[in-house]
Amino acid sequence: MEINEQIIDDNDFRIASKKALLEYLAVQKDERILVLADNTKREIGLNIYSVAQELGFEAFYLEMKEAKFNGEEPDKVVADLMGQFDVVICPTKRSLTHTDARRMACSKGARVATLPGITKEIFVRCLNAESDIIEELSNRLVEKFKDVCFVRVVTKLGTDITMDIRNRRVISSTGIIREEGSGGNLPSGEVYLSPVEGSSNGTIVFDGSVAGIGILEAPMKLSVKDGYVINIITNDNHQAKQLLDTLNEVGKDAFAIAELGIGTNHKAIISGLILEDEKALKTCHIAMGNNKGMGGSIDVPLHIDGIIKNPDIYFDNVMIMQNGDFLF
């Protein structure tokens, strides 16, 4: 289930592409741009490509077949091409964020913006967010993470999970991708990290949305022990069964707790598409599967985020969020 797409004015659509190129990516006149779309996101990809050309940039458009999973590697030819450009923009249905292809392109100096599941509505709405506000809040949250050993997330619906984050890299994803070799989502607005493998224990209740499934019709309860989801209560919940089937198709490490993130984008809402949902204020998200791009060791072709609304969050027993509101 997803919120229906609204009618978007073509001029607003093109203004959003211009803002992405000039403000968030700060593309320079001597840089080469690759717009890498799949067949489901052709309209968005071609809009970015067309605006890039109008702005005088040397831009190329490449289209590939829709991937099956978030985190699935693209064809080697595509991966090799990604490393040959200064800026790579990826509007695709499935995420390329947690792929070796994205990491390799960044290692060669490319700035890579991934837009998994992007729609015209989300593109226009979230790129209208003030980048300086997102950046300031994200930076303050990163400061709060300093020297924290454990994070605990609690909700009235039953989430109660503790994660060890000692010595883990805290990542501020603002959508501002201006440094050589940097990468991230566009639009963005989150602070995230990968908890220590094997350290997460407790209960998760997703009540917002889940990547690849959309807005949840009912809360989804997962039990976690020693870093792995060991039970998903399905009952008559077809969405919970869909999640379980997807994880089982990949194997044991798909059940690993991969990420904890907190949303910092004041324009984002829960729309059913995880690209936007995980950026919304008053939410946090927990992901399963691949955490390699965050400094972890789990390397599987899958990364699935689930949204938790209005959480209480504790950093070493100090509450930094209450019912979704920051306390700093």
Of 1.10.3300.10, 3.30.360.10, 3.30.565.10, 3.40.1830.10, the CATH number of 10-127 is 3.40.1830.10
Query: What radius of gyration, in Å, describes the C-alpha atoms of the chain?
Result: 19
Predicted pLDDT at 6: 53
* pTM summary value: 0.85
Q: Is the dihedral of CA 252, 218, 277, 88 positive or negative?
A: positive
Distance CA 287, CA 211 (A): 9
Predicted pLDDT at 45: 98
Domain boundaries, the chain: 10-127, 131-326
- pLDDT tens for each residue of 41-75: 999 999 999 999 999 999 999 999 999 888 899 99
Give Dmax over CA atoms of the chain in angstroms.
Answer: 57
* DSSP per residue, 30-88: T-EEEEEEETTSHHHHHHHHHHHHHTT-EEEEEEEPPPSSTTPPPPHHHHHHHTTSSEE
Q: Are the CB atoms for 260 and 224 separated by under 8 Å?
A: no
- Tokens at residue 217, please? 């019709």
**What is the mean pLDDT for each group of 10 consecutive residues in the chain (328 residues)?**
57 95 96 98 98 98 93 95 98 93 97 95 92 95 97 98 97 94 94 98 98 96 98 95 96 97 97 94 98 92 96 97 98
Distance CA 106, CA 126 (A): 24
Predicted pLDDT at 114: 96
The strand order across the sheet containing 32-38 reads 58-64, 32-38, 87-92, 111-116, 183-185
Q: Are the CB atoms for 299 and 291 separated by under 8 Å?
A: no
Helical H runs in the chain? 10-19, 42-54, 76-82, 100-107, 120-127, 131-145, 238-250, 274-277
Predicted pLDDT at 4: 43
Predicted pLDDT at 7: 62
